[in-house]
Amino acid sequence: LDEVVEARHDSLAILHSLTDHRRTLFLDRAGETLHAPDGFMLVCSYNPAYRSSLKDLKPSFRQRFVTVPMTYLPPDREIEVLVAESGVGADVARRLVNCALSIRHADDAFHFEPPSTRTLVAAARFIAAGADELTAAQACILAPLSSDGAIHEGLYEIATAHLSGAPA
């Protein structure tokens, strides 16, 4: 289940019997009980509520899972991913990753969700299609992060410090 935190709590409560010792799913409307096979595993993913308690999973649901926290790839590996997924050169990928690293560090002050590797791949693909780096960063990285004018200006300053305004 991807982005399970977006589900209604009453919908998740239905899964309790599937995720505990019972390993069953009760379908009330069908009057049916499904039993999970021995190899069944329920995997959920989500970004934890980012500095907000409005979107979080209840402890009664979270306690049914093993938690594997994930962080960003090391910069050299993230560069490799951008090159492989978009076809841009390593120099462009390095600039994008360095820009993202600076924005991720600025997140401590600005409190927004930092750019993911996925957004960097989107920017890199836009660059590979002919956009200049700043335009790609604006469209794929900066604009999705914040619509607040002052924050956006700060993010744009970070981007201009790292990226080229010339077409690729």
pLDDT digits (tens, 9 = 90+) for 101-110: 999 888 666 6
Are 155 and 118 contacting, i.e. CB atoms less than 8 angstroms apart?
no
The confidence score (pLDDT) of residue 134 equals 95
Record the pTM.
0.73
φ, ψ (nearest 5 deg) of residue 154: -65, -45
Q: Which of 151, 69, 155 is nearest to 119 (CA)?
A: 155
Are 99 and 137 contacting, i.e. CB atoms less than 8 angstroms apart?
yes
Give the start-end residues of each E strand in the chain.
24-27, 32-35
> For the segment 48-79, what is each residue's pLDDT rounded down to a tens digit?
655 455 567 888 888 888 888 888 999 999 99
DSSP state of 141: I
Residue 55 tokens read as 């979107």
The confidence score (pLDDT) of residue 153 equals 87
Are 61 and 130 contacting, i.e. CB atoms less than 8 angstroms apart?
no
The confidence score (pLDDT) of residue 155 equals 87
The domains of the chain are located at: 1-70, 75-162
104 vs 18: CA distance, rounded Å: 37
The confidence score (pLDDT) of residue 93 equals 97
Which of residues 68 and 96 earns the better pLDDT score? Answer: 96
* Cβ-based burial of 93 (10 A; exposed 0-12, middle 13-18, buried ≥19): buried
The confidence score (pLDDT) of residue 71 equals 86
Residue 168 has pLDDT above 90, yes or no: no
Which of residues 55 and 16 earns the better pLDDT score? Answer: 16
Residue 113 has pLDDT above 80, yes or no: no
The confidence score (pLDDT) of residue 151 equals 80
> For the segment 137-153, what is each residue's pLDDT rounded down to a tens digit?
999 999 988 877 788 88
